Amino acid sequence: MINIRTHDEIELIRKSALMVTATLTEVAKFLKPGITTASVDKMAEEYIRSNGGSPSFKGYNGYPYALCISVNEQVVHGFPGAYELKDGDIVSVDCGVFMNGFHGDHAYTFAIGNVKPEVLKLLRITKESLVRGILQAKAENRVGDISFAVEQYTAKDNGYGVVRELVGHGVGRKLHEEPQVPNYGRRGDGKRLKEGMVLAIEPMINLGTKDVETLEDGWTIVTADRKPSAHFEHTTAVRKGKGEALSSFVPIESAEQANAELNSAHYGATTVASNIS
């Protein structure tokens, strides 16, 4: 069943989504070479709980952490652990928060220090593809219009691999609801969009092949060719004219830039061009 949310319900989802934004902003302040991904997860869980939320991912189908932290060739669902971040890494941080009966779901890929230009371009194009997908999340369009917008910009215009095994989804009282939202497809295909639907739109785009594999932990998805992958996500409300992101990248980007400047004495910081609110 596809849920159509009332205005009040969407505002509650917005609060959950913005708590995810706030958490990812704290992550942006915290990230630097030498820290472990486990320490990032611990900090984020403490922040979420201290602000009246609970981490949506922890315990979901047995997942043991508050965050999914995926480094470099890891696409999504990476386990936080003893890995120490290094200059030149990219780090996808996917976070969900449950508050007031609703989930928010939101992801951002961070550049750590001196990242290669071709990888920074991957991050920029993936982020821009999310904007293009959100613009198509409008009433009377179809899911395929979102999918086509993402695939056209990333795969056809820029030659990247679009992951097919993993998709966006509806989000609300449950973390994963109908409909599924692939990042590839044809215009006019799929479920018709209605005002009040809430979707997690989340391009997962690879520098090389679209093909992926699952590691022995049963969760972590990696690129088959071990080239980097980027992941950006917004909780998005379907509206009449265009979709509306209920989460925001603005404070995350500001914190990322400030953190890069703070640490610039230790490494040549680079950041991703911003154009998403």
pLDDT in tens, 100-157: 999 999 999 999 999 999 999 999 999 999 999 999 999 999 999 999 999 999 999 9
The reply to whether 13 falls in a domain is: yes
Instruction: State yes or no: pLDDT of 269 exceeds 60.
Output: no
Domain that holds residue 158: 7-262
The reply to whether 269 falls in a domain is: no
pLDDT of residue 262: 83
- Specify the 3-state DSSP secondary structure of 72: coil
Distance of alpha carbon 150 from alpha carbon 173, whole angstroms: 26
The reply to whether 270 falls in a domain is: no
pLDDT of residue 266: 60
One-letter identity of residue 64:
P
**Burial bucket for residue 88 (CB in 10 Å: 0-12, 13-18, 19+):** middle
Q: How far is CA 246 from the centre of its chain?
A: 13
pLDDT of residue 265: 56
- Specify the 3-state DSSP secondary structure of 47: helix
The reply to whether 271 falls in a domain is: no
The reply to whether 275 falls in a domain is: no
What confidence category does residue 273 fall into, taking pLDDT thresholds of 50, 70 and 90?
Answer: very low
Instruction: State yes or no: pLDDT of 263 exceeds 80.
Output: no
Among residues 238, 93, 230, which one has the least CA distance to residue 172?
Answer: 238
**Which pTM value belongs to this model?**
0.94
CATH code, domain carrying 62: 3.90.230.10
**Is residue 144 within 8 Å of 185, Cβ to Cβ?**
yes
The reply to whether 1 falls in a domain is: no
Which residues on neighbouring strands pair with residue 222, listed in sequence order?
Answer: 74, 213
53-112 residue pLDDT tens: 999 999 999 999 999 999 999 999 999 999 999 999 999 999 999 999 999 999 999 999
Split into its structural domains, the chain has a count of: 1
Instruction: State yes or no: pLDDT of 277 exceeds 50.
Output: no
